[in-house]
Amino acid sequence: MTIPEKMIYPRTGDHETVYLKNVITNPNILVGDYTMYNDFVNDPRLFEQNNVLYHYPINHDRLVIGKFCSIACGAKFLFTSANHTMSSLSTYPFPLFFEEWNLDRKDVTTAWDRKGDIVVGNDVWIGYEAAVLSGITIGNGAIIGTRSLVTRDVPPYTIVGGVPAKPIRKRFDDKTIASLTAAKWWDWPKEKIARNLDAVQSGCIEQLR
Nearest to 207 by CA among 171, 169, 179, 165: 179
The answer to whether residues 59 and 81 touch, using CB atoms and an 8 Å cutoff, is yes
Q: Which residues contact 12 (CB under 8 A, 6 or more apart)?
A: none
Question: Which residues are marked as active site?
Answer: 84
Looking at the chain, which runs of residues are DSSP E strands? Answer: 17-19, 29-31, 36-38, 52-53, 63-65, 70-71, 76-78, 118-120, 125-126, 131-133, 137-138, 143-144, 149-150, 158-161, 166-170
